[in-house]
Amino acid sequence: MGIASGDPTVVPLVSVAPVVPAAPVPVPSRVARSRCRHCPSAQHCPAPKTEAPLVSQAESELFRLHVPSSSRARFIDRLTTSPWTGLPVLIATVWALIAASTAASQPLQAGLNNLISGPVSSAAVRGLRAVGLDGSWVSSFLVGGLLTGVGQLLTFVPLYAFVAASLIALERSGFLARSSAAAHSLMRRLGLPGESMLILVLGFGCNVPSIGAAGHLGSVRHRRVTAILAPLVTCTARLPVYVLVAQAALPGRSAAVVAAMYAMSIGIVLSVAVILRVVMGSPAAVPGDGAFPAAPPLCRPLVLPLLAETLRRLVAFIRGVAVVVTAAVAVAWLLAAIPLGGAPAGSGFGHVPLGHSVLGRTAGAVAPVFGPAGFGDPAVTAALATGVVAKEAMVASFAQTLSSGPVAATSTAAALRQRLADSSGGHPGGAGLALCAFVLAYAPCIPSFAAQRTVMGARWAVSSV
Q: What is the pLDDT of residue 111?
A: 86
Q: Do 393 and 333 touch, CB atoms closer than 8 A?
A: no
The pLDDT of residue 447 is above 50: yes
Among the listed residues 51, 19, 25, the one whose alpha carbon sits nearest the alpha carbon of residue 218: 19
- Residue percentage of the chain with pLDDT more than 70: 76
- Residue 329 confidence (pLDDT): 79
- What is the model's pLDDT at position 41? 40
pLDDT at position 454 over 80: yes
Residue 439 has pLDDT above 90, yes or no: yes
Q: Which residues contact 381 (CB under 8 A, 6 or more apart)?
A: 363, 364, 366, 367, 370
Q: How many C-beta neighbours within 10 Å does residue 118 have?
A: 11
Mean pLDDT of 81-108: 79
What is the mean predicted confidence (pLDDT) over 117-128? 85
Round to whole Å and give the CA distance between 32 and 365: 64
**Span 56-74, mean pLDDT?**
50
| Mean per-residue pLDDT, 194-204 | 78
Q: Whose CA is closest to 397, among 321, 318, 333?
A: 333
pLDDT digit string, tens, across residues 405-435: 433 445 788 889 989 998 998 899 999 999 9
Instruction: Answer yes or no: is pLDDT of 107 > 90.
Output: no
Task: Rounding to the nearest 10 degrees, give the CA dihedral for residues 130, 132, 135, 136.
Answer: -130
Once rounded to an integer, what is the mean pLDDT over residues 442-462?
84
Residue 259, pLDDT score: 86
Single pTM value for the model? 0.69
334-339 — which CB contacts under 8 Å span 24+ positions?
Answer: 335/359, 335/362, 336/360, 336/382, 336/400, 336/401, 337/137, 337/140, 337/141
CA-CA distance, 19 to 28, in Å (whole number)?
19
Distance CA 326, CA 311 (A): 22
Identify the pLDDT of residue 283.
Answer: 60
pLDDT at 52: 36
